[in-house]
Every structure is written in C-alpha cells, then in structure tokens.
A and B are shown apart, each in its own frame.
Chain A
C-alpha cells in the first residue's frame, strides 16, 4: 500500500466513526465546533500513528480516547477555561474545582453512555426547531452525514461562503440556546421527532427534484437522506413514523431511474416503465412500511408511504387499487389537512367511484386559496367532466389549465385534450 492509499484507508475509517465521535465529544465539551475540531485532531494523530502501528482493533474507541485526551490538553492550556468554565462546572454538578483530573474522571464516566443514544442526541440537536429548516439540513449533512462545506454548497446550489456562514450561525444558535445534546423525552419528543423527520425528507426532496439535472452531487442527497433514515430506524426501532418516512423514501427512490426519459424530461407515473423500478428498494420500502404499520403507523409519512406502496405493488397502471388509494387519502386528509391532499383525494375517488364522485369533492375545494391558479385543479376537473360526458364544460377547464401551466409540454397535452372534447 502506498502512503496515499494508507491515508485514504484511514480517512475512510474516520468517516465511519466521525458522527459518533462528535456525538460523544459534544456531550462533554458542549460545543459543536470544538467537538469537530477535537475529532479532526484525532484523525491527524491517527494519520501519523496508524501507518506505523497498524489500525487498532477498535478504531472508534481509539479515536475517542485520543480526542478526549486532546480535550484535556486544551483545558490544561486554559484554552477552554474562560469560554467553558462555568458550563463545565454546571455539567459536573458544581463539583468543578478547575483541575483537569476532575474533568478526566467525568469523561471516563461518560464511557458508559450508550453511543447510539449520543448519536441520536446529536441528530435531535442538529434538527432542533430553534434552527431554520435550511440550517437544520445543512448542519445535519455536516455533522451526521460528514459532508464537507463544499459538497453541501454544491448540493444546495449555493456558495461555500454562504454555507459556512450558515453553519457558524447554526452552531452559535445552539450554543446560545444552551441545548443539551440529549434525546428529548416526554411531551417534547413527538414535536422534536417530527422536526428530525422533516429535515431528512427535505434533504431527500432536494435530491429527488434534481435527478434530471447535470450535477450528480444533488441526486446523491437522496441517498444521503435514505442513509440517515436507515440510521434513524436503527436508533429508534419503536417509532412508526421513522419507518413510515424510510418506507416513503425507499419506494420513491425505487422509481428514480424510471422517472427520467431519454431526453432528460420527467416521465409521469402513469407512463413509467415499471420494469425499471428498483425492486430491491421497493422490497425494503414495503418491509419498512410493514414495520410502521405493525407499530400502529397512521401518521402522515406512513400514510404517504402506504400510498406510494399501492403503486409499487402493481405492475400495470390499469391494476391500481383505487378504492384503497381513496381510503388512504381520506385518512391522510384527516391527519394532514391540505387542499392539495384534498385534490388528490378527489382524483382517487373519481378513479375508484366514478367522475361524479370526483366532481363532488373537487367542487368542495374549488375556492381554496392554495389552489388558485393551480393548473392540476382545472385539469382534474376537466377530466372528471369529460368522463361524465359534459364535453363543453370539460373543454373550457382544459383550456384554463393549459393557460396556467408554465410547462410547454404540459400545455400542449392539455390543449390536445381540449380539442378531443369536440
């Protein structure tokens, strides 16, 4: 092995350990920046020692020990004292007497903590609602996903400077808010978890929306998000919505290859070549959904996953189980009220029970502000009318929809439907 290869091998080990390392360190030093620095110091030491000594049997524990020793050194050099003195004293229950030995003892106690719990605590902190949604996503990708600032900047179509500033601000906010890096318990937990899930899904969608783009870094966000989702499922095996989100992402990702046409344009679900769906991901998604449902899953993610699963299970659009989909939209509308869910629900009902059922539901929501100038509303209404034999009315709906869409392809399709009404 060349020196370069050895370095890369060590860096690969470090990347595997990094998030846990930071999670363990941040519990002690209460400062994300410092924890990252200490972890990085440990890498530097590993890079100088491991080529001589070989990789230790438990590299994670080795890196942690080294990083903690660095933390003590830092304290001894008074680097931390001014900044951290009071916080550490509080952390040690007032027993702080200013000597590194006491801190060392506290650090050794800390070895008994469950590293999974520490990692989960760091995830919950990075996704804390005190931060903006964007800041949460960026911080999560940095400290949990281990992406560099440059990689995050590329992924979010932003500049490195902007991302770096956002990270600094996010860390500062965490410090000011005095967050404890612990897994929330009790009443707080559900709200905090939904913030975590939202961040992971946001990362997923950033990638999903970009799958036709030129830059392959953005689609890799989908994979990053699924990785985070699987990690979370490993850490929270009893939470239905965690598995619901995982199922939703795995099933949506299963269509990634089929949803891009040869010309780079998006291919709608109806026209996708289902043989190109990734059956391995579908199976994983269905397994995760089954787990969510066994845990009582009836939340927004589990329901959306169940909807995605309805499509994933059938090999032909014509075999779609519309009554089941309609029932799932009924339920989704109840737990996650939104005019867009309602519109989807109307479409599902029209497919399951006929165009009149769709018309009835769509007329109930026609005035919703969120649907004003929203092309799919008249498009759906036009389709219901067409199928109900009310051709003239259908025509004007299709024409209205064509005027609203900004997509030329879509507009041409809608105008063709309008012409077919004669």
Chain B
C-alpha cells in the first residue's frame, strides 16, 4: 500500500501544477523538491515580519451585565444587531475564523489542579472583569490591524468594558532561531 499511497499524494499535489502553469516551482510543487536549493537561492533571513499573517484571540471581557446573562431587552437586541453587522464586516474582510459568545460564569465550572488533586469548583466566579464573555479568532496581518479592527467594534456591553487581544503561538515561533518574537511590533 505504501507506494500506492505515495502515488496518491504525489498526484494530489500534481493536479494543481498543470492547471497553474508553474514553471518556476513545478518541480518543488510535488514531492521532488529539494529544500536545500531554496535556502541557497535565498540565503537572507526574512527581514519583514509584518507580513506574516498572525492568528489572534480577541477576548471580550465580562461585566456585571454579561454575568447576568442575555436579556431580551430592546437595548440588548440593538447591541446584538450592531455586533452582527460588525461580524459581517469581519467576514467580508476575510479575517474571521471563528467567534462566539459565552454564557455567564454561573453556568461554568473550574477544575483546580494541584499535584495529583483535581477539585471541581462551580461558578459563578469572582473578579468579573477578568472573566471571558465572548471571543473571536481572527487572522490578521499584524497586531496593528487587530487593534484597528477592535476599535471598530461596537460597544460590547451597556457600560464600560474591555476587549483583549492575544496572539497565538505560530509554527514559526516554535522553530529554533525564528525571529518572529516581534510579530506584532513590526
């Protein structure tokens, strides 16, 4: 089965090649690529970190309002609609991967870890402002772009509230000698 599988894999890649008329990379496109050659062709390390699209989690922090749960008031419905329009914009911009709202922490549980012990703690939890009420996962070009998009977000809560942006670890961050720590800083 081994070689058959090899053939399948080769071909899956090769279906693409003829359609796209790739002279330059066609031999790399399939299995016959030689990574050394590419390194030789471009010995320079990438200086541009700005253009590596990054994944961020955008965290909507809870407030007393969100911890009370969704109420079908006109105000909250209007906020939901505004948020829906914002979500449309995110989709159209091509940056949205995922997003959802979370129920209040009264419906959550925490599991505390200490050595071999596992203790289950029922919500609600204190320190409301540190809780998560909702989140998105976006793919953006850099932190500046994420910030610019978050600023466009309609008020997520009736009162003052916060949204936090946290970049994901990417494959490149975990490779030795990667120079991507300044991902978001350009």
A contacts, CB < 8 Å to B: 8-9, 11-13, 15-16, 55, 116, 133, 147, 150-151, 154, 157, 198, 201-202, 205-206, 209-210, 212-217, 220, 223-224, 226-231, 234-235, 256-257, 264-266, 268-270, 280-281, 284, 304, 307-308, 317, 338, 340-341, 343-344, 347-348, 350-351, 358, 370, 375-376, 379-380, 382-384, 386-387, 398, 401, 405-407, 410, 413-414, 417
B32 touches A410 (CB 8 A): yes
Which of these, B12, B31, B98, B147, contacts A407 with CB under 8 Å?
Answer: B31
The answer for the CA separation of A376 and B18 in the assembled complex, in Å, is: 15
Interchain CB contact under 8 A, B48 and A227: no
A230-B94 contact, Cβ under 8 Å, with A268-B6, A380-B3, A384-B4: yes
Inside 8 A of A343's CB, which chain B residues have their CB? 7, 11
A interface: dominant SS: helix
A-B contact pairs, 16 of them (CB 8 A): A9-B144, A205-B20, A209-B25, A210-B28, A212-B33, A214-B38, A216-B49, A217-B51, A227-B53, A266-B33, A317-B5, A343-B11, A351-B4, A386-B3, A405-B32, A410-B32
Give every chain B residue within 8 A of A11 (Cβ-Cβ).
144
Q: What residues of chain A lie closer than 8 Å to B32, measured between beta carbons?
A: 405-407, 410
The answer to whether A209 touches B15 (Cβ under 8 A) is no
Tell me if B126 is interfacial: C-beta within 8 Å of chain A.
no
Q: Which of B3, B39, B92 contacts A398 (CB 8 A)?
A: B3
Bound together, the chains give a CA A390 to CA B149 distance in angstroms of 63
Q: Assess A227 versus B25: contact at CB under 8 Å? Given A220-B53, A265-B35, A304-B15.
A: no
User: Number of contacting residues on B, CB 8 A?
Assistant: 65
Q: Among A12, A304, A347, A406, which residue has its beta carbon within 8 angstroms of that of B145?
A: A12
- Quote the shortest CB–CB distance from A36 to chain B (angstroms): 19
From A381, which residue of chain B is reached at the shortest CB distance? Answer: B7
Q: Are B144 and A214 neighbours in the complex by a CB distance under 8 Å?
A: no
Q: A270 to chain B: which residues have CB within 8 Å?
A: 2, 5-6, 8-9
In the complex the two chains form, is A269's CB within 8 Å of B5's CB?
yes
Per the bound structure, the CA–CA distance linking A106 and B47 in Å amounts to 45
Given contacts A230-B94, A340-B15, contact A214 B39 (CB under 8 A): yes
- Cβ of A347 and Cβ of B7 under 8 Å apart? yes
Q: State in angstroms the CA–CA spacing of A119 and B44 once bound together.
A: 36
User: Please, which residue of chain A has its CB at the minimum distance from the CB of B27?
Assistant: A406
Measured CB to CB, the nearest residue on chain B to A268 is B9
Q: Mark B61-93, 1 if CB is under 8 A from A, else 0.
A: 000000000000000000000000000100111
**In contact, A133 and B20 (Cβ under 8 angstroms):** yes
B117 within 8 A of A: no
Shortest A49–chain B CB gap in Å is: 17
CA distance A214 to B44 in the complex (A): 9
Chain B hits for A154, CB < 8 A: 46, 48
| Known pairs A284-B97, A317-B5, A376-B11; A213 contacts B20 (CB<8 A) | no
Interface string of B86-121 (1 = CB under 8 A from A): 001001111111100000000000000000000000
Q: Are B10 and A376 in contact (CB under 8 A)?
A: yes
Residues on the B chain within 8 Å of A266, using CB: 31, 33
Judge whether B129 is part of the interface by a CB distance below 8 angstroms. Answer: no
Residue of B with least CB distance to A232:
B94
* Chain B contacts for A264, CB-based, 8 A: 35
Contact, CB under 8 Å: A151 / B148 = no
Query: What's the least CB distance linking B118 to chain A, in Å?
Result: 24
Known: A270-B9, A398-B3. A9 touches B148 (CB 8 A): yes
Q: Do residues B4 and A340 form an inter-chain contact, with CB atoms below 8 A?
A: no
Task: Please state if A410 and B31 are interface contacts (CB–CB under 8 Å).
Answer: yes
Asked whether B52 lies within 8 Å of A217 as measured between CB atoms, the reply is: yes
Residue-by-residue, is B149-186 near A (CB-CB < 8 Å gives 1, otherwise 0)?
A: 10100000000000000000001100000001000001
